[in-house]
Structure 1
Amino acid sequence: MESLIHIVLLCFLLFTVFAIVRMHDLFAVVMLLSIYGFLCASFFMVMDAVDVAFTEAAVGIGISTLLLLSALTLTGRYEKTKRHKPLLALVTVAVTAGLLIYGTLEMPPFGSAYAPAHQHIAPHYIHQSFGETGIINIVTSVLASYRGYDTLGELIVIFTAGIGVLVLLSSLAPEAGSKEGKEQHGKGKLPAPMKQHAILRIVSKMLIPLILLFALYVQFHADFGPGGGFQAGVIFASVIILYLMIFGLKAARKVISLAWLEFLAALGVLIFGSVGLLSLLSGENFLDYDMLSSDPVQAQHLGIFLVEIGVGLTVAAIIILIFMTFTGRMADRGEQQ
C-alpha cells in the first residue's frame, strides 16, 4: 500500500512538471509550482521526514508562492514566445542525466540496511545522540550540534541570497522620472486594499496572535518534535506578510522597519557565528558547546538554543525584507499613478 502511494505521488509530480514546462501563463505556472510543493510535502510525510515536510509546506507552498506572485506584478503574466533550439537543449539534458545516473551506479540500493551511512553514522546518532546532547528530537541534535557547521553555512547562504536579491531589486528599480519608470507606472492599476473588507480584517486579527504563538512553539519545542529556527522563522515571516497584505505597507512599516529587519538578519548570523568563535577562544573546536556549561548536556541545550535563535532571526528577517521590497516597488508604482 505504501509503495502504491509513492508511485501515485511521483506520477502526480511528473504530470505537474510536464504541465509547468508546457505552460506560457506564468500565473498558472506559479499555481502549479504551489501544487508541486504540496505534493513534495505529502511525499516527505509519507517518507516520515516530518521536519522536511514542515519546511516544504511553509516555504514551497506559502512563502515562495507569494514571492513569485509579487514578482509577476513587476513583470508580466505571459511568457514571451521565442524560438528555442530544442535539439541542443535535449542533448544537454540527456548528457547531464546520463552523468548523474552513472554517478549513482555504485551507490547502495535505496533504503538498504547495509548502506555505509546506516552502518556507522546513523547508529551513532540513534543510540548516542540523546546521551550526548539530551535532545529527544534526533533531527534537531544532528542539525544544530553534530552538523552545526553545515547549518551555519546554510544560514550564510540564505543571508547572502537575501542581500543579493535586495541589491538587485534596488539597482534595477527605474527612476520615477525616467521613460522606463513612466511606462511601468502607467501599466494597469493596483488592486484595492484588502483592509476595506471587514471579514478579512477581523479574521486576520484573530489569526495573527495564534500564528505568532505557534511560531514560538515551533522555535522552542524543536528539542521534542519537528521544528526549529528555519520553520519558526518562516512561520513568523508569514505573520508579517499576512499583516502587510491586509493592512498595507505603511501600516506594516509602523510595526517593523527595513532598517530593523536588516539589523536582525545580520544579528542572527552573528549570534550563530559568535557561539563558534566563543568555542575557539575557549580552546575547543568550532561550535563545540561543551564550554558553555560545566554540565555537557546542559551546554548542548544552551548551544542549540542560541544557534536556533540565530537561525530564526535571519530566516524571518530575510523573507520579510524581500517581500517588503517587492511590495514597496508596487506601492511606489501606485503612488505615481
Structure 2
Amino acid sequence: MEALVDIILLVFLVVIAIAIVRMTDLLAVVMLSGIYGLLSACFFVVLDAVDVAFTEASVGAGISGLLMLAAITMTGRKEAPKRHKPFLALFVVLVTGGMLIYGTMDMPYFGAADAPVHQHVAPRYIHDSMQEVGIPNIVTSVLGSYRAFDTLGEVAVIFTAGIGVLSLLRLPRLSKKPASNEATEAQMHERHMVVRIVSKTLIPFILLFALYVQFHGDFGPGGGFQAGVIFAAAIILYTMLFGLETAQKVFNPSLVQLLAAVGLLLYASVGVVSIINGANFLDYNVLADTSLDGQHIGILLIELGVGITVASVMLSIFFNFDARRQALHNNKKPKGEQDVSRTL
C-alpha cells in the first residue's frame, strides 16, 4: 500500500512538472509550483522525513509562491515568445543529467543496510545523541549541534542572498512621497471586507504558531527555518491585504534589514562565547554548568538567530518587490508590458 502511494505521488509530481514547463501563463505556473511543493511535502511525510516535509510545505508551497506572485506583477503574466530553439541547452541538460545518473551507479542502494552512512554516522546519531545533546528530536540535534557550523553557513547564504536581492531591487529615495488615492483604497477596503476581517483574525494565530514552531523544535518537527518562514508569511499576508504603506508603519523596513544581520550575528556570537570559555567554536557544553544544559541553551540561541534572519530576509525581499511594483505602476508602464497587479 505504501509503495502504491509513493508511485501515485511520483506520477503527480512528474505530470505537474511537465505542465509547468509547457505553460506560458506565469500565474498558472506559480499555482502549479505551490501544488508541486505541497505534493513534495506529502511525499516526504510518507518517507518519515517530517522535518523536511515541514520545510517544503512552508517554503515550497508557501513563501516561494508569494515571492513569485510579487515578481509577476513586475514582469507580466504571459511568458515572452521564444525567439530561438533551445536545442543546445537541452543537449547540455541531457548530457549533464546522464553523467549524474551514471555517477550514482557505484553508490549503495537507497536504504541498504551495508551503506557506509549506516555503519557509523547514523547509529552514532540515533544511539548517542540523547546522551550527548539531550534533545528528543534527532534532526535538531544534528542540525543545531553536530552540524552547527554547516548550518551557520546556510544562514550566511540566506543573508547574502537577501543582500543581493536588495541590491538589485533597491529604489532611489524619493524626495516627495506619491499621493495615495483615498477613494480607491476605500473601495478596495469595502470590496475585500470579509477577507480582511478573516485574515486579521487568523494572523495572530499564525504568528503564535510560528513561535510554537520556533521554540518547540527540540521536541518535534520545526525550528528556526520553518518558524522564520511562517512568521514572514503572516506579515506578507497582512501586507497584501492592507497595503505596503500600512505594513511598513507597523514593521519598519530599516529595522527589518537590521534584524537580518542581528540574527546571523547572534548565531556566530554563540560560537565566539564558546571559544572564550575555552571550548571549540559552537561547542555548547561550556555555556552552562552541565553539558546538557549548555546544549539546550546553545541550540535555543542559534535557532532563534536562524528564525530572526530567515524572517527578516523574506520580509525585506517582499517589501522591495512590492515597492518596485508600486514604483513601476506609478511611472505608467509601456503599453506593450501587461500589468497584472489587478489580476493578482
| TM-score of the pair, normalised by structure 1 | 0.91
User: Given that residues 285 and 294 in structure 2 are in contact (C-alpha distance below 8 angstroms), is that contact kept between their aligned partners in structure 1?
Assistant: yes
Give 1:198 deviation, angstroms. 2.1
- Aligned-partner residue type, residue 285 of structure 2: D
| Helix, strand or coil at the partner of 1:136 | coil
The answer for the alignment partner of 2:26 in structure 1 is: 26
User: After superposition, where does 1:154-303 map in structure 2 within 5 Å?
Assistant: 154-170=154-170, 193=188, 196-303=191-298
Cα RMSD after superposing both structures:
2.1
Aligned length: 324
Q: Which runs of 5+ in 2 are unaligned?
A: 176-183, 333-344
Call closer, same or farther: CA 1:195–1:125 in 2, change over 3 Å: farther
The answer for the alignment partner of 2:46 in structure 1 is: 46
Alignment partners' CA distance in 1, 2:98 and 2:77:
35
Alignment partners' CA distance in 2, 1:309 and 1:53:
21
Alignment partners' CA distance in 2, 1:145 and 1:227:
15
Alignment partners' CA distance in 1, 2:100 and 2:331:
51
1:127 and 2:120 correspond: no
Q: State the Cα deviation string for residues 97-128 of structure 1 (Å, max 9, x = none).
A: 12101211111001112111111011111111
- Aligned-partner residue type, residue 232 of structure 2: A
User: Given that residues 195 and 247 in structure 1 are in contact (C-alpha distance below 8 angstroms), is that contact kept between their aligned partners in structure 2?
Assistant: no
- Aligned-partner residue type, residue 47 of structure 2: M
Alignment partners' CA distance in 1, 2:83 and 2:325:
31
1:308 and 2:313 correspond: no
Q: Which runs of 5+ in 1 are unaligned?
A: 177-188
Q: State the Cα deviation string for residues 137-184 of structure 1 (Å, max 9, x = none).
A: 10111100000011000000000001101111127x8999xxxxxxxx
The answer for the alignment partner of 1:4 in structure 2 is: 4
| Helix, strand or coil at the partner of 1:285 | coil
The answer for the alignment partner of 2:113 in structure 1 is: 113
| Helix, strand or coil at the partner of 1:82 | coil
Give 1:336 deviation, angstroms. 4.8
Q: Structure 1 vs Structure 2: percent identity of aligned residues?
A: 60
Alignment partners' CA distance in 2, 1:254 and 1:113:
56
| Helix, strand or coil at the partner of 2:105 | coil
| TM-score of the pair, normalised by structure 2 | 0.89
User: Given that residues 195 and 246 in structure 1 are in contact (C-alpha distance below 8 angstroms), is that contact kept between their aligned partners in structure 2?
Assistant: no
